[in-house]
Amino acid sequence: MIGKLNHVAIAVPDLEAASATYRDTLGAEVSAPLDQPDHGVTVVFITLPNTKMELLHPLGEKSPIQGFLDKNPAGGIHHVCYEVEDILAARDRLKAQGLRVLGDGNPKIGAHGKPVLFLHPKDLYGTLVELEQV
């Protein structure tokens, strides 16, 4: 059911410094910051030959990333994102098998302009999983 790895997301305490490290030190292609108010984050995408990395930084006082950074001040891997063909069919199948979808269970539009859902990390061995419809 899941397809390609779309990206690995890393929460960072300093988006500008993290972007500079990936761009200037590692030589990666780094996008401009993109605010995602519906998700409470500002994101930067790092394009790699086989996938993307996503740098996440809190946006607004209710950002879920702030809580993560409070527990992990240096930052760290926040989630992995897999592609799915039909996000509603994937949601329904996973819920029927006992996995929990975060939020109200309905997809939101993500940073790529496509529907996304998040699955509870306690159901997937401590890993927050994002599904993105391709």
Catalytic-residue membership of 61: no
pLDDT tens sequence across 1-14: 899 999 999 999 99
Catalytic pick from 54, 83, 130, 132?
130
pLDDT at 40 over 90: yes
Domain boundaries, the chain: 5-133
> DSSP assignment of 33-68, as one string?
PEEETTTTEEEEEEE-SS-EEEEEEE-STT-HHHHH
Q: Is 15 helix (H, G, I), strand (E, B) or coil?
A: helix
Q: What is the CATH number of domain 5-133?
A: 3.10.180.10
Q: Is 74 helix (H, G, I), strand (E, B) or coil?
A: coil
- Distances from the Cα of 122 to the Cα of 85, 99, 126, 128, angstroms: 24, 9, 5, 8
Which has the higher per-residue pLDDT, 60 or 92? 92
CA angle 88, 93, 96 (to 5 degrees): 125
Q: What is the mean pLDDT of the chain?
A: 96
